[in-house]
A = this chain, B = another copy of it.
Amino acid sequence: MRPDYGLYLVTDRALCLGRDLVDVVAAAVRGGVTMVQLREKDCDTREFVALARRLKQMLEPHRVPLLINDRVDVALACGADGVHVGQSDMHPKDVRTLMGGKGLLGLSVETMEHVREAETLGVDYLGVGPVYATSTKPDHSEPWGLDGLRRVREACSLPLVGIGSVNAENVASVMRQGMDGVAVVSALCSADSPEQAARHMFASVESVRRNG
């Protein structure tokens, strides 16, 4: 089955307003999220694996793929559908080897040099970010902007997902730069109703995918 990158939720427990992460993700999935990435940067491995397994169990019946940020060990332990890595995480070629050739592999790209290199690494899609300046990742690099997304689209044949301060207001503009999807953190994790927020954003994604 061809993966649907349309509305891609990247988790951040700190942004869930004290709610259980699995509940927040479940609500967002009811609203239309098509893919989930579990990102945990300061979590003990045992807790990370337990959380990943709970998410995987919840997502499985919905056929929504679960990707794990950075940690191939956690991905393998929970039976995730893939791994997403950044430029300081495990090298994509090493990830492929450890995953036994199976699963989705995503890579974050912050420069055109990253984009050009990515085409040679056998990754499945690129996370292009940050689209806008973002507070979720305070140490982020120079934002791409809408023009930057367009340049990446023209330079690269891989599926592209825009990430970085994508929200209900700008999702259509981001999609119109030729993106295959948008990755969203706080606009879903911190929404009063993650389900309604996801439904609203997914409608925008679908509208651009159908009508441009």
Contacts and interface: CB of A to CB of B under 8 A. Distances in A.
Contacts of A98: 73, 76-77
A110 interface: no
A91 B49 CA distance: 9
A90 B77 contact: yes
5 contacts: A49-B90, A73-B73, A73-B76, A73-B98, A77-B94
Nearest to A76: B98
A40 interface: no
Contact of A88 (B46, B73, B76, B89): B46
Interface pairs A-B: 10 shortest CB-CB: A44-B88, A73-B73, A72-B73, A45-B90, A45-B89, A77-B94, A46-B88, A76-B98, A45-B70, A46-B89
A190 to B, nearest CB: 27
Contacts of A199: none
A205 B7 CA distance: 60
A91 B47 CA distance: 10
Interface in A74-88: 76-77, 85, 87-88
